[in-house]
Amino acid sequence: MVPVISFSADCPSRSGLTPYFIRTAWNDSSQAEAIASLVQKYNWREVVPVYEDDDDTNIKFIPDLVDALKQVDTRVSYRCKIHPSATEDDMKTAISNLKQNWTSVFVVRMSHALAQKFFQLAKDEGMMTQGFVWITAYGLTDIFDVVGSPALDVMQGVLGVKPHVQDTVELQNFRQRWRKKYRLQNPGTSLSGPTVSGLYAYDTIWALALAAEKAGFVNSDFRPSLTKNGSTDFDRIGTSKAAEKLRGALLKVLFFGISGKFHIQDMQLVSSNYTIINLVGQERREVGFWTPGSGISGSPKMKSDLNTVVWPGYNETAPTAPRGWLFPTNKNLTIGMPVKPGFEEFVGFDNGTATGFCVDVFEAVVNDLPYHVPRHYREFGDGKGSSNGTYDELVYEVYLKNYDAVVGDITILANRSSYVDFTLPYTESGVRMLVPVQDRRQKTAWTFLRPLTADLWLGTGAFFVFTGFVVWSIEHRINQDFRGSPASQIGSVFYFSFSTLVFAHREQILNNFSRIAIVVWLFVVLIVQQSYTASLSSILTVEQLQPTVTNLEEVVRNGGNVGYLNDSFLPGLLKRLKIDESKMIAFDSPVEYDEALSSGKVAVIVDEIPYLKVFLSKYCQKYTMVGPTYKFDGFGYAFPRGSPLTPDISRGILKFASDDRMVKMQKDLYGETSCPDKDDSQTSSSLTLQSFQGLFIISGASSVLALILHAVITIYNNRHEFNSDGSQSPWRRWPAILSKLFHGDDSPSNTPDKDEAAAENAGSAVETPLSIRIPSHIVEHMSDTDTGSPPEGEGTPGRELSVQDTEPLSFAYMHSERGQNRAASLSRSGSSIRRRQISME
């Protein structure tokens, strides 16, 4: 056997059958990868191969093409086969079937003569117009060189791939010699130059010559084949030593020929790069290249965009590339709609017109698409308000091609997505519980204690006493208001400290350290008081509506029933949540929900959030949503698997979701105001000590610091007391000194004794209960008698004598022994003055 060499990619490789079959043409799998990269470049999701029904030609290419398209996530849902002997009517039927399909991207591979007839009929049927894409595989791409002008006229805008051959000086000289000789032998030919296959054949001859030269002369005696019952004739051909040596030499040949680098690997020529051409007018434009490493590019040496492509139906550059699909001719979408008697807000039929939120969103999205979508709605019901089946059965109708889509409140579920493709959801997703609410406010005689916790009450009281003690400790040495008997001083401490609660303290504060402690404490009191007032107001006035049930586990423990929406997927969910089937009750409308919950027929309603929000827009004051949200994907529109409308509608939903129109539709559906969840977070909780810990720390630190500084300064100012008597031990002397300093009286001169002298001041009247109007001659007589001063004339005007301090007496002073003695003295003085006035009158 001698090596058998094929120059065509159409012939399948037989390297697995015999080691002597060598293919010196391009690899079909690499050509399929180039076409798949071109499809991926324009994001076409579906392709229809159109090929000649010749097993010898396409037995390897079509599987390679399908595999390559799968790698770029592109589907091949339909294949169009054209028999080599097909009549014109047969081809018209095939083209008509292509027009009824959504896909408008076609990959064509067939013989030159058959392809010319096919494209002529496709042009007559209007399939060489805008929106269509035609890609030719090599073997057909060189039809322009073979057929010439007739092919150019019917294939405008077609894209093709062919092996890339670099235009060198040697290739140009070869073409000139080839044209001259070929036209001399074939006058009138339309062939303008050698095809790429011809160039591969030319280089293959050179490779054989080089291999034969390297192998040299070897005895060519044939040996019979050891295989007697082979599946092909190749298996029964004998071999020779010369063939073996020639094969080995041919596999090692490596040179640069007219077509480029010639190198055989794995019994076939190493894959080359590909050129992408675009047929425009009477010329073929190179618009890009494909390489195994870089994929699609505008240059064979660097990554760049493709050059301008003129698509079918355009005389110049189109604004955008075709989207890859078109509506079938004279096709209207038949859209199925569920029957939903209880929730007409989502979907319904009014005098044959589709209505509802789901329909409004779909119409808005479709109307925003850059192309027209002819459609009509059909109710999935008996015309009397009853459904023809469940929602699962309605979705399955799309799979059976009875509907082109389903629009309605269709929840996206895994089992349904096995038959159809869903768009992105256009509603809020999830399932929650609906339960009644009740006001749990309990007003008692001790409600006023609820704003503060016990630790805050105790802590606040402790700080009242502590602050009063600090102020008393600082003030009682110099302030008569804080002196007196022990009982009086204790009363002063408590009265002063607790009167700060309502800012009613009247004792004078003389020491600056006391003032600092009081100012900080009053700020704390203000904050606590305002917080207490706000919390108590909330407890007494705000409704504390709380759900009767917070989770399904509680319902199961109590043996309560669970309601759900009829004809939904919720029974399956409830079973997974361990709800007994006997405890499940189905309802059809919001009215039935209300009746069941109000009567106690069910403890909770489990439903999807959109339904519950519609229900709460009518019954917001009586019910609320509680519990965890069980995740589901929400409502979506169902389309057949692979429908090109699905991604466009999904993108339209994303865009429409951020539009003001969507907000308005949701307000119309759910109401202007939202119904908030009524849970424990709405209950007015008691204030805790932790909330005011910082304030108490600041107040306590200020008081302690003031007390320490006061003690240090007092000891420093009286340091001579510690050195006055050295006969006693310091440990005995100092406690006595400290006690003396603490209990000592350092009252300033403006004490009540001095205030009593105010009775001698005349000239101004003080309107107080202890003020007495005295004529001037009585005052003069008293002055002469008591002080020995010279009398004034009788005509001196009357004066007023006040026996009261200019400032009101404090509570502590009024109850002290000194204060009581002073009050008695003032009383006796007033009585004596009054008797003198009467006697003189």
**SS in 3 state form for 52-84?**
ECCHHHHCCHHHHHHHHHHHCCCECCCCEEECC
Three-state SS letters, 161-216: EEECCCCCHHHHHHHHHHHHHHHHHCCCCCCCCCCHHHHHHHHHHHHHHHHHHHHC
Instruction: Return the bridge partners of 41, or none.
Output: none
Handedness of CA 568, 572, 576, 580 (dihedral sign): positive
Q: Look at residue 238 in the predicted model and tell me its pLDDT.
A: 57
CB 254 within 8 A of CB 266: no
Whole-number Cα distances in Å, 725 to 652, 712, 722, 743: 100, 21, 7, 19
Residue 402 DSSP label:
S
Q: Identify the H or E element spanning 526.
A: helix 512-541
Check the CA dihedral 766-768-770-772 and report its sign: positive
Q: How, if at all, do strands 771-774 and 799-802 pair?
A: antiparallel
459: enclosing H helix or E strand? helix 454-475
Q: Which residues of the chain have pLDDT under 50?
A: 1-2, 12-16, 680-682, 749-817, 837-841
DSSP conformational letter for 797: P
- The C-alpha angle with vertex 544 and arms to 538 and 549, in degrees rounded to 5, equals 160
Distance between CA atoms of residues 497 and 699, nearest Å:
14
Distance of CA 378 to the CA centre of its chain: 35
Q: How far apart are CA 663 and CA 669, in angstroms?
A: 10
Q: State how far the alpha carbon of 386 is from the alpha carbons of 278, 341, 348, 354, 408, in Å.
A: 57, 8, 12, 16, 16
Q: What is the DSSP letter of 389?
A: S
Strands across the sheet containing 268-269:
4-6, 21-23, 268-269, 260-265, 254-257
> What three-state secondary structure class fits 565?
strand
Q: Between β-strands 333-337 and 260-265, what pairing exists: parallel, antiparallel or unpaired?
A: unpaired
Backbone dihedral angles phi then psi of residue 334, each to the nearest 5 degrees: -95, 115
Please, which contacts does 660-668 make with residues 24 or more away whose CB atoms are closer than 8 Å?
A: 661/364, 662/361, 665/357, 665/360, 665/361, 665/364, 668/357
In one letter, which amino acid is 177? Answer: R
Q: State the sign of the Cα–Cα–Cα–Cα dihedral 705, 711, 714, 720.
A: negative
Q: Residue 23: is it exposed, middle or buried by C-beta count within 10 angstroms (0-12/13-18/19+)?
A: buried
Within the chain, how many helices (H) and strands (E) appear?
27, 30
The alpha helices in 186-327, defined as continuous H runs, are 196-215, 241-251
Tell me the sheet residues that pair with 604: 562
Cβ burial of 734 (10 Å; 0-12, 13-18, 19+) is middle
Amino acid making up residue 556: V
Length of the chain: 841
Task: Return the closest-CA partner of residue 207 out of 291, 273, 300, 270.
Answer: 270
Question: Contact at 8 Å (CB) between 638 and 420?
Answer: yes
State pLDDT tens for residues 628-662: 888 888 999 999 988 889 999 999 999 999 888 99
Phi and psi, residue 680, nearest 5°: -65, -20
Residue type, 567: D
Per-residue exposure over 319-345, b if at least 16 CB sit within 10 Å of its own CB, e if not: eeebbbbbbeeeeebbbbbbbbebbeb
Within 13 A of 760's CA, how many CA atoms are on the CB side?
10
Single out the residue of 274, 211, 203 nearest to residue 248, CA to CA.
Answer: 211
Tokens encoding 777: 């001659």
Rounded CA-CA distance 43/644 in Å is: 12
Q: What is the DSSP string of 661-688?
A: HHHHHHHHHH-SS-----SGGGS-PPB-
Beta strands in 548-583 (DSSP E): 562-565
Going by C-alpha positions, the residue among 681, 440, 436 that lies closest to residue 544 is: 440
Torsion of CA 487, 492, 498, 499, to 10 degrees: 140
Cα torsion 339, 341, 345, 351 to 10°: value is 70
**β-strands 584-587, 562-565: how paired?**
parallel
Among residues 388, 380, 444, 383, which one has the least CA distance to residue 407? 380
Nearest alpha-carbon partner for 270 in 247, 254, 246: 254
Please state at what angle helix 512-541 crosses helix 454-475, rounded to 10 degrees: 160
- Nearest in space to 465 (alpha carbons), one of 255, 700, 806: 700
Six-digit token string for 78: 């339909």
- Rounded CA-CA distance 618/613 in Å is 9
**AA identity, residue 630:** Y
Q: Spell out the residues 6+ positions from residue 735 whose beta carbon is closer than 8 angstroms to its own.
A: none
- What's the pLDDT score for residue 318? 65
Are 564 and 584 in contact, with CB atoms under 8 Å apart?
yes
| Residues paired with residue 800 on neighbouring β-strands, in sequence order | 773
Determine the angle formed by the axes of helices 730-743 and 693-717, rounding to 10 degrees: 110
- Residue 798 has what pLDDT? 40
692 closest CA partner among 459, 454, 449: 459
Catalogue the long-range contacts made by 261-266 (C-beta closer than 8 Å, 24 or more residues apart). Answer: 262/24, 262/203, 262/204, 262/206, 262/207, 264/22, 264/24, 264/207, 266/15
